[in-house]
Amino acid sequence: MTTQYAHIGKKSWWSGNVKTLCGLILPPGNAKSVWFPAFVQTCPGCLAVQKNGGK
């Protein structure tokens, strides 16, 4: 079974894309929220950028 990661990011009002802190760009409709976030790990790349104060 593959590991699911929850990414930290911002959604664009104009295009609907979600840009994550680790650099991924998710098109509209592709970003999904999880039902039980306690069972999903946060993306290590997003956590590293957040820890170092990146936006």
Question: What is the per-residue pLDDT for 15?
Answer: 92
Every domain of the chain and the residues it spans = 5-51
DSSP lists the bridge partners of residue 11 as: 18
| Most distant CA pair in the chain, distance | 36
Tell me the pLDDT tens digit for each residue of 1-45.
567 788 888 989 999 899 999 999 989 887 677 667 677 889 999
Pairing type for strands 41-42 and 5-6 reads: parallel
Question: What is the per-residue pLDDT for 13?
Answer: 92
Question: What is the per-residue pLDDT for 40?
Answer: 83
Question: What is the per-residue pLDDT for 48?
Answer: 94
The torsion defined by the Cα of 50, 52, 53 and 55, in degrees rounded to 10, comes to -50
Write the burial class of residue 46 (CB in 10 Å: 0-12 exposed, 13-18 middle, 19+ buried): buried
- pTM, whole model, 2 decimals? 0.73
